[in-house]
Amino acid sequence: MTLWRRGRVWWSYIYVDGVRHAKSTGTANRRLAEKIDQNFRDELNLRRHRTQQPVPEMTFGELAARFIADGVAKPYHLDRLKVLLPYFTDVQIGRIDKAMARNYRRHRHEEKKCLTESTVNRDIQALRRILYWAVEEGLLLSNPLSRVPLVRVPRKPRKVMSVVEEEHLLAAASSHLRSIIIAALDTGMRRGELLSQRWEHIDLSRGLLQVTRSKTPEGEAREIPLTERLHNLLAERHAPNGLVFTFNGRAVRTIKTAWKATIRRAGIRYQRFHDLRHTFNCRLLEAGVMQEIRKALMGHSSGEDVHATYVHIELPAKREAIRKLEAWINKQLIPNQQQGGSSSDSTKDGRPVGQTPDWSDSTEAVEEKVPGRSGVRPN
């Protein structure tokens, strides 16, 4: 028996190694007092074994400071903390619960009327991740938001840039942004991957680009064959080392302002820069490229399929996918060229339009007819 009633309040008395520890539960309710007594017992046991003791009275502001100081915070978390800290700074982490998360959602919508539910979902997800880190560090016994429900948001249709819009966009873009746009359309790389791409990881003799800095583990060190257009562009400005895409010899940190200005000058519908990546994927799909090959080129996660672990996309299959992409784009350009005037059927070096250079290490992909599909599948 560790609970004793003193007046109207229950007290917890626990002996650890012959030493008595007393604590008031602060309540006259027996069931509630038993829960507090058990928590007190667990706390003393952790202290006895010199384990990190929970600190539920720590404020969220202190927790966020530790989270950042330990180097765990990513740019995504830092961005979300800008809106989380004003609301949760002085709140004890032991008092954060699902009800407080719901109140935070209402507060965000009252603060900004045009805010979407998906934006608040990302705030809650960042908050939940920080609390999980507190559990890992022993600052909390459990995460109160582990099963917090998020508002389901209907998926919005993503925009795909047409070939005509692409021509207008490239004509209106500055020289350094034009190179970045071409690389995004022909490789499907993310903006961060493009801006951190280095010459040391581009092999023009083999026509290959190796991504070495990616957002996801699946995107690290993936190989992307170069289209003829991108190969010629890179060959003209090749350098032995350093960043590939620069402005006046300096690294490009952001392209948001330049991108919006280019869209405005081009007179086309607004699209995000990330939509170029979606355009690359859709063009491969319409060209008949299989899903596994598209995912390998874009560095997408292989998903939860058990058999996905054993799927390996060989380089010839990737080259064939890029060849199909170029053929599809050239097919879209034929009606425009017929309207605008005649065009040559071959490139400067005598190769037919849409045919990629014959790289020395490439082999022909064996193609097999797939029942029920109009496309082909490389072995």
Asked if residue 54 is part of any domain, the answer here is: no
* 40 and 81 co-located in one domain: no
* 311 and 188 co-located in one domain: yes
* 254 and 366 co-located in one domain: yes
* 42 and 184 co-located in one domain: no
d(CA 189, CA 275): 11
The pTM of this model reads: 0.62
Number of C-beta neighbours around residue 263 at 10 A: 20
Task: Return mean pLDDT, the chain.
Answer: 83
Report yes or no: 152 and 109 within 8 Å, Cβ to Cβ. no
Provide the residue range defining the domain that includes 186. Answer: 163-343+352-378
* 74 and 27 co-located in one domain: no
Instruction: Write down the residue that tokens 């180097």 correspond to.
Output: 71
d(CA 127, CA 132): 9
Asked if residue 201 is part of any domain, the answer here is: yes
* 119 and 183 co-located in one domain: no
* 32 and 73 co-located in one domain: no
Asked if residue 148 is part of any domain, the answer here is: no
Asked if residue 366 is part of any domain, the answer here is: yes
What percent of the chain lies above the pLDDT cut of 70? 82
Q: Look up residue 301 and give its amino acid.
A: S
Report yes or no: 238 and 204 within 8 Å, Cβ to Cβ. yes
pLDDT, tens digit, 9 for 90 and up, residues 8-38: 899 999 888 888 889 899 999 999 999 988 8
> Which of 136, 154, 171 finishes a domain?
136
Question: Looking at the 3D structure of the chain, how many domains does it have?
Answer: 3
* 104 and 249 co-located in one domain: no
d(CA 38, CA 141): 13
Helix (H, G, I), strand (E, B) or coil at 38: helix
pLDDT, tens digit, 9 for 90 and up, residues 1-16: 688 888 889 999 988 8
Asked if residue 149 is part of any domain, the answer here is: no
pLDDT, tens digit, 9 for 90 and up, residues 186-221: 999 999 999 999 999 999 999 999 988 877 665 667
3-state helix, strand, coil in the chain (%, to 5): 50, 10, 40
Asked if residue 185 is part of any domain, the answer here is: yes
* 173 and 237 co-located in one domain: yes
* 66 and 118 co-located in one domain: yes
Number of C-beta neighbours around residue 51 at 10 A: 10
pLDDT, tens digit, 9 for 90 and up, residues 99-111: 999 999 999 999 9
Asked if residue 287 is part of any domain, the answer here is: yes
CATH number for the domain including 211?
1.10.443.10
Sign of the torsion angle spanned by Cα atoms 318, 320, 321, 327: positive
Q: Look up residue 178 and give its amino acid.
A: R
For residue 311, the model assigns a pLDDT of 47
* 238 and 366 co-located in one domain: yes
* 37 and 110 co-located in one domain: no
Asked if residue 251 is part of any domain, the answer here is: yes
Q: What average pLDDT score do residues 267-291 get?
A: 91
d(CA 346, CA 248): 34
